[in-house]
Amino acid sequence: MDLNALRAFLVIAEEQQFTRAAQRLQMAQPNLTRVVRRLEEELGFVLFDRSNKRQFALTPAGQTFFKHVAPLLAAYEEAIQAAQRIAQGETGQLVVGYVPIAMFSGILPAVLQVYKRDFDGELVLRDLSTQSYRTQIKAVREHQVDVVFVPKPFDEAGMAHECVDKASLVVALPVMHRLAHRNGLLLADLAEEAWVSVARQLMPRIYDELLQLCQQRGFEPRFVQTVHQAQAVVSLIAAGAGIAVMSEWAQQAVQQQGTLYRPLLDVSYQSELHVLWSNDGCSPLVQRFLQVVRAISRKQAGTNGLHDINE
Protein backbone atom coordinates (compact mmCIF):
# COMPACT_ATOMS: atom_id res chain seq x y z
CA MET A 1 0.00 0.00 0.00
CA ASP A 2 1.25 3.45 -0.94
CA LEU A 3 2.24 5.38 2.21
CA ASN A 4 1.78 8.68 0.39
CA ALA A 5 -1.84 7.72 -0.25
CA LEU A 6 -2.31 7.01 3.45
CA ARG A 7 -0.78 10.36 4.35
CA ALA A 8 -3.13 12.05 1.87
CA PHE A 9 -6.10 10.24 3.42
CA LEU A 10 -5.17 11.44 6.92
CA VAL A 11 -4.79 15.06 5.79
CA ILE A 12 -8.18 15.03 4.02
CA ALA A 13 -9.78 13.47 7.09
CA GLU A 14 -8.32 16.22 9.25
CA GLU A 15 -9.27 19.06 6.90
CA GLN A 16 -12.56 17.55 5.70
CA GLN A 17 -12.07 19.59 2.55
CA PHE A 18 -10.13 18.75 -0.62
CA THR A 19 -8.92 22.25 -1.42
CA ARG A 20 -7.23 22.81 1.96
CA ALA A 21 -5.89 19.26 1.95
CA ALA A 22 -4.39 19.75 -1.50
CA GLN A 23 -2.72 22.96 -0.31
CA ARG A 24 -1.21 21.21 2.73
CA LEU A 25 0.03 18.36 0.59
CA GLN A 26 1.23 20.73 -2.16
CA MET A 27 -0.69 18.71 -4.74
CA ALA A 28 -3.07 19.66 -7.51
CA GLN A 29 -6.63 18.88 -6.43
CA PRO A 30 -7.38 16.55 -9.40
CA ASN A 31 -4.27 14.52 -8.55
CA LEU A 32 -5.36 14.26 -4.92
CA THR A 33 -8.81 13.09 -6.02
CA ARG A 34 -7.23 10.33 -8.12
CA VAL A 35 -5.03 9.23 -5.19
CA VAL A 36 -8.07 8.84 -2.95
CA ARG A 37 -10.02 6.97 -5.64
CA ARG A 38 -7.18 4.48 -6.11
CA LEU A 39 -6.89 3.99 -2.34
CA GLU A 40 -10.62 3.28 -2.03
CA GLU A 41 -10.43 0.81 -4.93
CA GLU A 42 -7.53 -0.97 -3.25
CA LEU A 43 -9.31 -1.11 0.11
CA GLY A 44 -12.67 -2.12 -1.33
CA PHE A 45 -14.75 0.43 0.58
CA VAL A 46 -15.57 4.14 0.45
CA LEU A 47 -13.68 6.39 2.83
CA PHE A 48 -15.53 9.70 2.40
CA ASP A 49 -19.17 10.71 2.14
CA ARG A 50 -19.21 12.93 -0.98
CA SER A 51 -22.88 14.02 -0.71
CA ASN A 52 -21.74 17.40 0.64
CA LYS A 53 -19.43 19.03 -1.92
CA ARG A 54 -18.15 21.59 0.58
CA GLN A 55 -17.23 19.17 3.35
CA PHE A 56 -16.03 15.58 3.04
CA ALA A 57 -17.03 13.64 6.15
CA LEU A 58 -15.65 10.19 6.85
CA THR A 59 -17.91 7.22 6.29
CA PRO A 60 -18.26 4.77 9.23
CA ALA A 61 -15.71 2.56 7.48
CA GLY A 62 -13.47 5.59 6.94
CA GLN A 63 -13.71 6.52 10.62
CA THR A 64 -12.63 3.05 11.68
CA PHE A 65 -9.81 3.04 9.16
CA PHE A 66 -8.65 6.48 10.35
CA LYS A 67 -8.71 5.34 13.99
CA HIS A 68 -6.32 2.48 13.28
CA VAL A 69 -4.12 3.99 10.57
CA ALA A 70 -3.34 7.35 12.22
CA PRO A 71 -1.29 5.91 15.14
CA LEU A 72 0.40 3.38 12.85
CA LEU A 73 1.56 6.07 10.46
CA ALA A 74 2.67 8.28 13.35
CA ALA A 75 4.71 5.37 14.76
CA TYR A 76 6.20 4.76 11.31
CA GLU A 77 7.30 8.41 11.01
CA GLU A 78 8.73 8.32 14.53
CA ALA A 79 10.66 5.15 13.70
CA ILE A 80 12.18 6.83 10.64
CA GLN A 81 13.24 9.86 12.66
CA ALA A 82 14.76 7.70 15.40
CA ALA A 83 16.68 5.64 12.84
CA GLN A 84 17.87 8.79 11.09
CA ARG A 85 19.21 10.18 14.37
CA ILE A 86 21.18 6.99 14.92
CA ALA A 87 22.43 6.93 11.31
CA GLN A 88 23.56 10.54 11.67
CA GLY A 89 25.31 9.87 14.98
CA GLU A 90 22.92 12.01 17.01
CA THR A 91 21.77 9.32 19.43
CA GLY A 92 22.65 5.84 20.69
CA GLN A 93 25.04 4.63 23.38
CA LEU A 94 28.73 5.54 23.23
CA VAL A 95 31.23 4.00 25.67
CA VAL A 96 34.32 6.14 26.24
CA GLY A 97 37.36 4.77 28.03
CA TYR A 98 39.86 7.13 29.60
CA VAL A 99 42.89 7.46 31.86
CA PRO A 100 43.44 10.34 34.32
CA ILE A 101 45.53 12.53 32.02
CA ALA A 102 42.46 12.89 29.78
CA MET A 103 40.84 14.67 32.71
CA PHE A 104 44.04 16.47 33.73
CA SER A 105 44.52 17.99 30.28
CA GLY A 106 41.01 19.42 30.23
CA ILE A 107 40.19 17.82 26.89
CA LEU A 108 37.74 15.19 28.11
CA PRO A 109 35.78 17.45 30.51
CA ALA A 110 35.32 19.99 27.70
CA VAL A 111 34.24 17.27 25.25
CA LEU A 112 31.71 15.88 27.71
CA GLN A 113 30.20 19.30 28.29
CA VAL A 114 29.68 19.93 24.57
CA TYR A 115 28.52 16.39 23.80
CA LYS A 116 25.91 16.30 26.55
CA ARG A 117 24.64 19.73 25.52
CA ASP A 118 24.35 19.12 21.77
CA PHE A 119 23.62 15.38 21.39
CA ASP A 120 20.88 13.05 22.59
CA GLY A 121 23.16 10.02 22.77
CA GLU A 122 23.85 8.18 26.02
CA LEU A 123 27.52 8.55 26.92
CA VAL A 124 29.04 5.99 29.29
CA LEU A 125 32.46 6.69 30.83
CA ARG A 126 34.77 3.83 31.76
CA ASP A 127 37.85 4.48 33.91
CA LEU A 128 40.74 2.40 32.51
CA SER A 129 43.46 3.92 34.69
CA THR A 130 44.39 0.65 36.42
CA GLN A 131 44.32 -1.44 33.24
CA SER A 132 47.39 -2.03 31.12
CA TYR A 133 47.79 -0.41 27.73
CA ARG A 134 47.30 -3.80 26.06
CA THR A 135 44.08 -4.36 27.99
CA GLN A 136 42.85 -0.93 26.90
CA ILE A 137 43.56 -1.74 23.25
CA LYS A 138 41.85 -5.11 23.62
CA ALA A 139 38.76 -3.38 25.00
CA VAL A 140 38.53 -1.30 21.81
CA ARG A 141 39.14 -4.30 19.54
CA GLU A 142 36.39 -6.28 21.25
CA HIS A 143 34.02 -3.29 21.18
CA GLN A 144 33.78 -3.10 24.96
CA VAL A 145 34.55 0.59 24.52
CA ASP A 146 34.02 2.67 21.37
CA VAL A 147 36.84 5.16 21.84
CA VAL A 148 39.57 5.55 24.42
CA PHE A 149 41.76 8.45 25.54
CA VAL A 150 45.29 7.17 26.18
CA PRO A 151 48.86 8.47 26.44
CA LYS A 152 50.79 8.37 23.15
CA PRO A 153 50.03 4.86 21.79
CA PHE A 154 51.89 2.63 19.37
CA ASP A 155 50.49 2.24 15.86
CA GLU A 156 48.11 -0.70 16.14
CA ALA A 157 46.72 -2.80 13.29
CA GLY A 158 43.06 -1.99 12.70
CA MET A 159 43.21 1.05 14.97
CA ALA A 160 43.26 4.76 14.28
CA HIS A 161 44.48 7.40 16.69
CA GLU A 162 45.07 11.13 16.74
CA CYS A 163 46.91 13.43 19.09
CA VAL A 164 44.46 15.80 20.77
CA ASP A 165 46.71 17.52 23.30
CA LYS A 166 50.38 17.93 24.25
CA ALA A 167 52.18 18.96 27.40
CA SER A 168 55.80 19.71 28.29
CA LEU A 169 57.67 17.64 30.87
CA VAL A 170 58.42 18.81 34.39
CA VAL A 171 60.30 17.34 37.34
CA ALA A 172 58.41 16.69 40.56
CA LEU A 173 60.63 17.05 43.64
CA PRO A 174 60.30 16.94 47.43
CA VAL A 175 60.36 20.51 48.74
CA MET A 176 63.56 19.82 50.72
CA HIS A 177 65.39 18.25 47.76
CA ARG A 178 68.90 19.51 47.00
CA LEU A 179 67.75 20.70 43.53
CA ALA A 180 64.61 22.39 44.76
CA HIS A 181 66.20 25.85 44.79
CA ARG A 182 66.76 25.82 41.01
CA ASN A 183 64.26 27.45 38.65
CA GLY A 184 64.82 24.77 36.03
CA LEU A 185 66.64 21.47 35.64
CA LEU A 186 68.55 19.55 33.00
CA LEU A 187 67.78 15.89 32.43
CA ALA A 188 71.39 15.01 33.33
CA ASP A 189 70.82 16.58 36.76
CA LEU A 190 68.61 13.59 37.54
CA ALA A 191 71.17 10.89 36.69
CA GLU A 192 71.96 10.00 40.31
CA GLU A 193 68.46 10.40 41.64
CA ALA A 194 65.96 7.77 42.76
CA TRP A 195 63.06 7.79 40.29
CA VAL A 196 59.38 7.18 40.92
CA SER A 197 57.23 6.41 37.88
CA VAL A 198 53.88 5.26 36.60
CA ALA A 199 54.24 1.60 35.58
CA ARG A 200 55.43 1.05 32.00
CA GLN A 201 52.46 -1.21 31.19
CA LEU A 202 50.13 1.79 31.47
CA MET A 203 51.99 4.07 29.04
CA PRO A 204 54.70 2.00 27.33
CA ARG A 205 55.51 4.33 24.43
CA ILE A 206 56.02 7.44 26.55
CA TYR A 207 57.94 5.37 29.13
CA ASP A 208 60.28 3.97 26.46
CA GLU A 209 60.84 7.32 24.78
CA LEU A 210 61.69 8.99 28.10
CA LEU A 211 64.10 6.15 28.86
CA GLN A 212 65.72 6.73 25.47
CA LEU A 213 66.16 10.43 26.25
CA CYS A 214 67.98 9.51 29.46
CA GLN A 215 70.22 7.06 27.62
CA GLN A 216 71.10 9.79 25.13
CA ARG A 217 72.29 11.85 28.13
CA GLY A 218 74.48 8.94 29.19
CA PHE A 219 72.57 7.37 32.10
CA GLU A 220 69.88 4.86 33.01
CA PRO A 221 67.17 6.06 35.41
CA ARG A 222 67.23 4.26 38.76
CA PHE A 223 63.60 3.39 39.36
CA VAL A 224 62.87 2.67 43.01
CA GLN A 225 59.08 2.60 42.81
CA THR A 226 56.43 2.17 40.11
CA VAL A 227 52.75 2.81 40.71
CA HIS A 228 49.52 2.91 38.72
CA GLN A 229 48.34 6.49 39.20
CA ALA A 230 49.91 9.95 39.00
CA GLN A 231 48.40 10.86 42.36
CA ALA A 232 50.35 8.00 43.96
CA VAL A 233 53.56 9.21 42.30
CA VAL A 234 53.14 12.68 43.81
CA SER A 235 52.35 11.24 47.23
CA LEU A 236 55.54 9.18 47.19
CA ILE A 237 57.56 12.23 46.18
CA ALA A 238 56.06 14.26 49.02
CA ALA A 239 57.15 11.45 51.35
CA GLY A 240 60.74 11.75 50.04
CA ALA A 241 60.82 8.53 48.03
CA GLY A 242 62.48 10.19 45.02
CA ILE A 243 61.79 12.39 42.00
CA ALA A 244 59.63 11.93 38.94
CA VAL A 245 59.43 13.26 35.40
CA MET A 246 55.79 14.06 34.69
CA SER A 247 53.67 16.09 32.32
CA GLU A 248 52.51 19.63 32.99
CA TRP A 249 49.01 18.16 33.17
CA ALA A 250 49.99 16.42 36.42
CA GLN A 251 51.47 19.65 37.73
CA GLN A 252 48.20 21.46 37.06
CA ALA A 253 45.95 18.74 38.43
CA VAL A 254 47.87 17.07 41.28
CA GLN A 255 49.08 19.47 43.92
CA GLN A 256 50.23 18.10 47.25
CA GLN A 257 51.96 19.68 50.19
CA GLY A 258 55.60 18.65 50.25
CA THR A 259 55.98 18.50 46.45
CA LEU A 260 57.06 21.12 43.94
CA TYR A 261 57.61 21.12 40.18
CA ARG A 262 60.46 22.44 38.06
CA PRO A 263 60.62 22.61 34.22
CA LEU A 264 63.04 20.48 32.21
CA LEU A 265 65.09 23.04 30.29
CA ASP A 266 66.87 20.83 27.77
CA VAL A 267 64.05 18.49 26.70
CA SER A 268 61.71 19.46 23.88
CA TYR A 269 59.87 16.13 24.11
CA GLN A 270 56.19 16.46 24.97
CA SER A 271 53.75 14.08 26.57
CA GLU A 272 50.82 13.40 24.23
CA LEU A 273 47.19 12.51 24.77
CA HIS A 274 45.57 10.58 21.93
CA VAL A 275 42.04 9.50 21.13
CA LEU A 276 41.99 5.97 19.71
CA TRP A 277 39.24 3.98 18.03
CA SER A 278 38.73 0.93 15.84
CA ASN A 279 38.76 1.24 12.06
CA ASP A 280 36.41 -1.74 11.96
CA GLY A 281 33.08 -0.17 11.08
CA CYS A 282 33.53 3.26 12.61
CA SER A 283 29.93 4.16 13.45
CA PRO A 284 28.30 7.54 12.80
CA LEU A 285 28.06 7.96 16.57
CA VAL A 286 31.83 7.59 16.91
CA GLN A 287 32.40 9.93 13.98
CA ARG A 288 30.21 12.62 15.55
CA PHE A 289 32.05 12.19 18.86
CA LEU A 290 35.38 12.59 17.07
CA GLN A 291 34.11 15.79 15.50
CA VAL A 292 33.50 17.18 18.98
CA VAL A 293 36.93 16.00 20.17
CA ARG A 294 38.66 17.62 17.21
CA ALA A 295 36.78 20.87 17.66
CA ILE A 296 37.79 21.03 21.34
CA SER A 297 41.39 20.11 20.47
CA ARG A 298 41.51 22.85 17.86
CA LYS A 299 40.03 25.36 20.29
CA GLN A 300 42.58 24.53 22.99
CA ALA A 301 45.54 24.39 20.63
CA GLY A 302 44.56 27.37 18.45
CA THR A 303 45.34 27.07 14.75
CA ASN A 304 47.50 24.01 15.41
CA GLY A 305 44.46 21.86 16.22
CA LEU A 306 43.22 18.89 14.23
CA HIS A 307 40.90 19.03 11.23
CA ASP A 308 37.23 18.15 11.30
CA ILE A 309 36.43 14.59 10.26
CA ASN A 310 34.64 15.78 7.11
CA GLU A 311 37.42 18.04 5.91
Residue 178 has pLDDT above 70, yes or no: yes
Whether residue 212 is predicted with pLDDT greater than 90 in this model: the reply is yes
Closest by Cα among 91, 65, 57, 108 to 253: 108
- Provide the pLDDT for residue 84: 65
Kindly report, residue by residue over 275-284, the tens digit of the pLDDT.
999 988 678 8
More confident call, 36 vs 147:
147
pTM for this prediction: 0.69
How many Cα neighbours within 13 Å face the side chain of 310?
7
Predicted confidence (pLDDT) per residue in 35-48, tens digit = 888 888 888 888 88
For residue 126, CA distances in Å to 48, 192, 303 come to 59, 39, 31
- Structure confidence by residue, pLDDT tens digits, 30-85: 888 888 888 888 888 888 877 776 777 888 887 888 888 888 877 777 666 656 66
- Side chain identity, residue 307: H
pLDDT higher at 259 or 15: 259
CA 34 → CA 49, 53, 121, distances in Å?
Answer: 16, 16, 43
pLDDT for 85: 61
Domains parsed from the chain with CATH numbers: 3-87 (1.10.10.10), 93-162+273-304 (3.40.190.10), 165-270 (3.40.190.10)
Q: Would you state the pLDDT for residue 305?
A: 39
Does the pLDDT at position 87 exceed 70? no
Are the beta carbons of 121 and 93 closer than 8 angstroms? yes
pLDDT, residue 66, reads 83
Model confidence at 215: pLDDT above 90:
yes
